[in-house]
Amino acid sequence: MNPAKVFLLTLTAMVAFASNSLLCRLALKQTGIDAASFTCIRIVSGAIVLWLIVKLRPAAAPVGASLTTSRKDRRPLQGNWPSAIALFTYAAAFSFAYISLPAGTGALLLFGAVQATMILWGLRKGERLHSLQIVGLLLAGAGLVVLLFPGLSAPPVGGSILMLGAGVAWGIYSLRGKRGGDPTAATAGNFVRAVPLAIALSIILLTSARLDRAGIEYAVVSGSITSGLGYVIWYSALPGLKAAGAATVQLSVPVLTAAGGILLLGENLTWRLLLAALLVLGGIALVVIDRQPTRPQ
């Protein structure tokens, strides 16, 4: 793949992922929509767009198969219920966390929890850390302690716990997604399965439901474009990235989110957030950069 194309696709995907945090925080801070409705609209919008992408793209027919047989045997949606539950848990906890968390802080907690979940799972499966990786893991842990340590600039405890939970759920979803298959079709199937869960959440919290036009628009954009299309763009870029590059490029998401929060939402860049970001992102970079080349490609 052309390096310039890989760079453009990767940059677009990272901006889309960062935009998810910005759109959610913007909707819950400056519009009247509630977190459950935002989650439901986001998941439904993403499911519709991904389902259309999978349905409309050309299907690869087996050699010698007739067109009729190819269409009959086509199974466009993949995925499974455990992954869909993890996806829904991430999306719901993500939305409720952003009721109180600044965009940059939320993205840092989310990203740190995602990577920690995946690293700890690797250790459980028998992976071994080198000395530099151990240093990186300790630095990342220290960064989260710095960020969450009680003080005037510490983020709210409830929102922080929810975002860490969202990160664990997304880490589980990502680990399950490594089992193979068509990633776009699997993501579409998981989004479709998550729709009834999101609707059920909205029904349970119906008495606190609030909707307005701007909030609905932000949720639709988050689901259809920055989530649905963002995932498709990311999967298109992955074949052109080495394993280490695919892992470390995601370090840019909290940085992009924090910058967007400052420029677009008027959020402050505190020394606590800056120091925590350097420790967490730098520590995780040491772990993934040193780990990935030793794994089979």
CB 98 within 8 A of CB 24: yes
Query: Measured between alpha carbons, how far is 243 from 29 in angstroms, rounded to an integer?
Result: 37
One digit per residue, pLDDT tens: the chain, 297 residues? 778 888 899 899 999 999 999 999 999 999 999 999 999 999 999 999 999 999 988 765 444 444 444 444 455 788 899 999 999 999 999 999 999 999 999 999 998 898 888 888 888 888 787 888 889 888 988 988 888 877 757 789 999 999 999 999 998 998 887 766 788 899 999 999 999 999 999 999 999 999 999 999 999 999 999 999 998 898 888 777 775 566 678 778 898 999 999 989 998 888 888 899 999 988 888 887 765 544 433
Q: Could you give the 3-state DSSP secondary structure of residue 125? A: coil
Place of tokens 């639709």: 220
Nearest to 292 by CA among 241, 235, 254, 252: 241
| φ and ψ at residue 24, rounded to 5 degrees | -65, -45
Owner of token pair 């007739």: 66
- The pTM for the full model equals 0.86
Domain that holds residue 281: 3-294
d(CA 42, CA 219): 5
Domain count, the chain: 1
